[in-house]
Amino acid sequence: MEIVPMTDIKSFTELRLKSGLTIEKVASLTGYSQREVYRWEKNEVKPRKLVVDRLLRLAQSPAHYGRSSYDFTFIDLFAGIGGMRKAFDELGGKCVFTSEWDKYAQQTYLANYHDDHGVAGDITQIDAVDIPEHDILIAGFPCQPFSIAGVSKKNALGRPHGFADKTQGTLFFDVARIIEHHRPKAILLENVKNLGSHDKGKTFQVICDTLRELGYFFDAKIIDAIHWVPQHRERIFIVGFREDCDFSFDRFEYPTETEQPVLQSILHPENGSEPEEAPWTIGPTGKVSEKYTLSDHLWEYLQKYAEKHKARGNGFGFGLVGPDDTTRTLSARYYKDGSEILLKQHGKNPRRLTPRECARLMGFDSPSGSNFVIPVSDTQAYKQFGNAVVVPVVRAVGQYLLEYLFDGVSADQLRLDFMTELG
């Protein structure tokens, strides 16, 4: 189909990014499926002229929607390897400060994001006055004190957890002191699902009370990443605003794709269509290295462990999946035995996912095929992806946040405006 000239814009992807829209938002605004938009991205088919006309106008005058390409700034606290950063970069934001204490996570972050400000370390040692002004504060503050696994471990060791844990639980208050000093327009906090029920809801109540004391209006929602990636991963997102803009997650939309993403979409094809990426894949066909296949000893151990707990009526055990399945939650302990996600293999023991497949499972690799840099060992990579956020989920939440932040423009208004122009 004929499309209008795009002057210096060379691709649909560039046009979309200049328009400040995500793939999900283009699909939502135009009524096309995300699969169709991906086809535009890959230049397999051309979008309709009306779609391109609309995006061109947005690219030429993004202020129509209340912002320009870098009209909002944000800071990235407890940044990990930058999953939340990646999502907000893609939404058109500019990161002005990053904090992450783990040296291996810093290594991965710096390999992928090249900022003048670098990565600051321990947030407890950073004065709020030394942090630049910003529009949005994003923070995936440590979840260990609130997670089911973390609570169980600390109980077994006779250690306190939640806000009684002086080394991790109180790190939320470092977020609070920065909010109090800078008064950002909006905040986005992410944590494990269990945050809401920890200590019979008292932990979450303290967080809510603190945000109210700071004068913020907010709402929270537990979102499962399975709508975006082939992984069951529930996390709680808290979005707050300095001004009361009547924010609610009630209108938050999940992807409209009719087909559930399956594991096949993130696996190495092993057919030569993907170049070798040592040490994960080898040879002209890009075959997954045998080191990811479980040894007879480990596979036998995991099967006996599962049988023992099944006999006791427990649900503990490995998660064996095929290409058409979805997975359990990838955890930071995946490097130990890979038991939560084991991929079936014909005629031999199952295998772990490679770090590259984990990157895809967490949404770090783009649909166009550009790869997230993984400069660390497999052990560190598994820990990092297991502790990370699912990027497209954060992107969807961030897009929803921005609709409220900029001139009160809502998704409903955007869609009505777009459909009006379509006639």
Q: pLDDT 10s per residue in the chain (423 long)? A: 333 344 455 677 877 777 777 777 777 666 667 777 877 887 777 776 666 766 776 665 544 443 444 568 999 999 999 999 999 988 888 999 999 999 999 999 999 998 888 899 889 899 999 999 999 999 998 754 545 555 555 555 555 544 334 334 568 888 988 999 999 999 999 998 888 776 777 778 888 888 998 999 999 999 999 999 999 999 999 999 999 988 999 988 888 766 789 999 999 999 998 889 999 999 999 999 999 999 999 999 999 988 887 777 676 678 999 999 999 999 999 999 999 999 999 999 999 999 999 999 999 986 545 689 999 999 999 999 999 999 999 999 998 898 888 755 444 444 444 445 444
Strands of the 217-224 sheet, one edge to the other: 94-98, 73-77, 136-139, 186-192, 234-241, 217-224
Tell me which architecture the domain covering 263-386 has in CATH: Alpha-Beta Complex (3.90)
| Lookup: tokens for 136 | 């949005």
pLDDT for the residue 271 = 92
Beta bridge partners of 163: none
Q: What is the DSSP string of 130-195?
A: GSPP-SEEEE----TTTSHHHHHHHHHTT---GGG-TTTTTHHHHHHHHHHHH--SEEEEEEEGGG
Q: How many angstroms separate the CA atoms of 266 and 230, rounded? A: 8
Tell me which architecture the domain covering 73-255+391-405 has in CATH: 3-Layer(aba) Sandwich (3.40)
What are the residue ranges of CATH 3.40.50.150 in the chain?
73-255+391-405
Amino acid at 348: K
What are the residue ranges of CATH 3.90.120.10 in the chain?
263-386
3-state class (DSSP) for residue 270 = coil
Q: How many angstroms separate the CA atoms of 364 and 357, rounded? A: 10
pTM of the model: 0.76
CB atoms within 10 A of CB 290: 9
pLDDT for the residue 181 = 92
Instruction: Reply yes or no on whether 208 is catalytic.
Output: no
108 close to 362: Cβ distance less than 8 angstroms: no
C-alpha angle with apex 181: 119 to 237, nearest 5 degrees? Answer: 70
Catalytic residue among 143, 208, 245, 358: 143
- Backbone φ, ψ for residue 349 (5° rounding): -60, 155
What are the residue ranges of CATH 1.10.260 in the chain?
12-65
- Backbone φ, ψ for residue 321 (5° rounding): -135, 160
CB atoms within 10 A of CB 166: 9
Q: What is the CA radius of gyration of the chain?
A: 22
Q: How many angstroms separate the CA atoms of 316 and 307, rounded? A: 9
Beta bridge partners of 75: 97, 137
C-alpha angle with apex 251: 61 to 212, nearest 5 degrees? Answer: 95
Domain 12-65 is found in CATH 1.10.260? yes
3-state class (DSSP) for residue 336 = helix
**Chain-centre distance for alpha carbon 54:** 28
Q: How many angstroms separate the CA atoms of 121 and 118, rounded? A: 10
